Amino acid sequence: MTAPDTPLHSEALLREVAALPTLPGVYRYFDAQDQVLYVGKAISLKKRVASYFQKNHGGTRIGHMVSKIVRMETTVVRSEAEALLLENNLIKTLNPKYNILFRDDKSYPYLKMTAAKPEPAPDTGARKSGKPGTDPQQFSRVAYYRGGVEKKHHYFGPYPSAWAVKEAILLMQKVFRLRTCEDSVFSNRTRPCLLYQIKRCSGPCVGHVSATDYAQDVRDAQRFLQGDAQEVLKSLEARMMAHAERLEFEQAAELRNQVAALSNVLHQQSVDNVSDRDVDILAVKVQGGKACVNLAMVRGGRHLGDRPYFPVHVEESAVLLDDEGASDTPQSAESQVLEAFLAQHYLGVPMPAVLVVSEPVDKSLLTALSEQHGFKVSAVHQPREQRRAWLDMAQTNAALQLARLLAEEGSQQARTRALAEALDLAMEDLAALRIECFDISHTAGEATQASCVVFQQHAMQNAQYRRYRIEDITPGDDYAAMRQVLTRRYGKVAEAMAHAKHEGRLPSAHERMPDLVLVDGGKGQVSMAREVFVELGLELALIVGVEKGEGRKVGLEELVFADGRDKAYLGADSAALMLVAQIRDEAHRFAITGMRAQRARVRVDGGKLEEIPGVGPKRRAKLLQRFGGVRGVAQASAKDLASVDGISPELAEEIYRALH
**Closest by alpha carbon to 468, among 595, 609, 606?**
595
Helices 45-54 and 61-68, axial angle in degrees (round to 10): 100
186 versus 149: which is more confidently predicted?
Answer: 186
Overall size of the chain counted in residues: 660
Q: How many C-beta atoms surround the C-beta of residue 134 within 10 A?
A: 19
Q: What are phi and psi of 455, to 5 degrees?
A: -120, 125
Measure CA of the first residue to CA of the last residue in the chain; give whole Å.
Answer: 72
Query: Whose CA is closest to 342, among 329, 332, 351, 333?
Result: 351
Considering only 96-100, 185-189, 289-293, 621-625, which range has the smallest mean pLDDT? Answer: 621-625
What is the pLDDT, as a whole number, of residue 132? 47
* pLDDT of amino acid 5: 47
| 9 closest CA partner among 72, 50, 59, 70 | 70
Residue 226: predicted pLDDT: 77
Nearest to 587, CA basis, from 469, 425, 490, 455 = 455
Residue 381 near residue 357, CB atoms below 8 Å: yes
Task: List, for residues 580-607, the tens digit of each pLDDT value.
Answer: 888 999 998 888 887 666 655 544 444 5
Name the burial class of residue 157, with classes exposed (0-12), middle (13-18) and buried (19+) by CB atoms within 10 angstroms of its CB: buried
pLDDT of res. 127: 43
Q: What is the CATH number of domain 431-601?
A: 3.30.420.340
Cβ neighbours for 130, distance < 8 A, ≥ 6 positions apart:
206, 207
- Region 282-311: mean pLDDT is 86
The structural architecture, per CATH, of the domain 11-85 is 3-Layer(aba) Sandwich (3.40)
Which pLDDT score, from 0 to 100, does residue 39 have? 92
Residue scoring higher pLDDT (330 or 107): 107
Task: Give the CB-side neighbour count of residue 158, counting CA atoms within 13 A.
Answer: 20
CA distances from 269 to 186, 224, 233 (A): 32, 13, 15
User: How far apart are alpha carbons 566 and 576 in whole angstroms?
Assistant: 17
Q: Is the pLDDT of residue 659 over 50?
A: yes
Q: pLDDT tens-digit profile of 141-171?
A: 998 888 776 778 888 877 887 888 888 888 8
**How do 543-547 and 516-520 pair as beta strands?**
parallel
| Angle, vertex CA 65, rays to CA 63 and CA 67, nearest 5 | 70
- List the chain domain ranges: 11-85, 109-226, 279-402, 431-601, 606-659
The type of residue at 26 is V
| Rounded Cα gap, residues 271 and 548, in angstroms | 57
Please state, in angstroms and rounded to a whole number, the distance separating the CA atoms of residues 342 and 401: 19
Contacts of 388 (CB under 8 A, 6+ apart): none
Backbone angles phi, psi at 606, to 5 degrees: 115, -5
Show Cβ contacts of residue 179 under 8 Å, excluding neighbours closer than 6 positions: 139, 140, 141, 142, 186, 201, 202, 204, 205
Q: Which fold has domain 279-402?
A: Nucleotidyltransferase; domain 5 (3.30.420)
Q: What integer pLDDT is reported at residue 489 of this predicted model?
A: 92
Over pLDDT 90: what percentage of the chain? 15
CATH T-level topology, domain 606-659: DNA polymerase; domain 1 (1.10.150)
In the predicted structure, residue 73 carries a pLDDT above the cut 70: yes
Per-residue pLDDT reduced to its tens digit, 630-643: 777 877 888 888 88
- How many CB atoms lie under 10 A from the CB of residue 66? 22
Q: Calculate mean pLDDT across residues 219-224.
A: 84
Residue 175's closest CA among 112, 235, 245? 235
What's the pLDDT at 74? 92
Calculate the CA dihedral of residues 611, 613, 614, 618 and round it to 10 degrees: 10
Q: Are 319 and 62 in contact (CB under 8 A)?
A: yes
What sign has the CA pseudo-torsion 535, 541, 542, 543? positive
Burial of 394 (0-12, 13-18, 19+ CB in 10 A): buried
Handedness of CA 379, 384, 386, 390 (dihedral sign): positive
Does 431-601 match 279-402 at the fold level? yes
Name the pLDDT band for 29 (thresholds 50, 70, 90).
Answer: very high
What's the whole-number average pLDDT of the chain? 81
| Alpha helices per DSSP H over 40-130 | 45-54, 61-68, 80-94
Look at residue 472 and tell me whether its pLDDT is greater than 60: yes
CA angle centred on 208, ends 205 and 211, rounded to 5°: 75
pLDDT at 262: 66
What crossing angle do the helices spanning 229-245 and 211-225 adopt, rounded to 10°?
Answer: 150
Q: Which residue(s) pair with 71 in the sheet?
A: 30
Backbone φ, ψ for residue 139 (5° rounding) = -120, 110
Q: pLDDT digits over 413-438, tens only?
A: 888 888 888 888 877 788 889 999 99
Position with higher pLDDT, 203 vs 505: 203
Given a cut of 50, whether residue 270 has pLDDT beyond it is no
SS3 assignment, position 323: coil
Mean pLDDT value of segment 615-626:
80
pLDDT band at 330 (very low <50, low <70, confident <90, very high): low
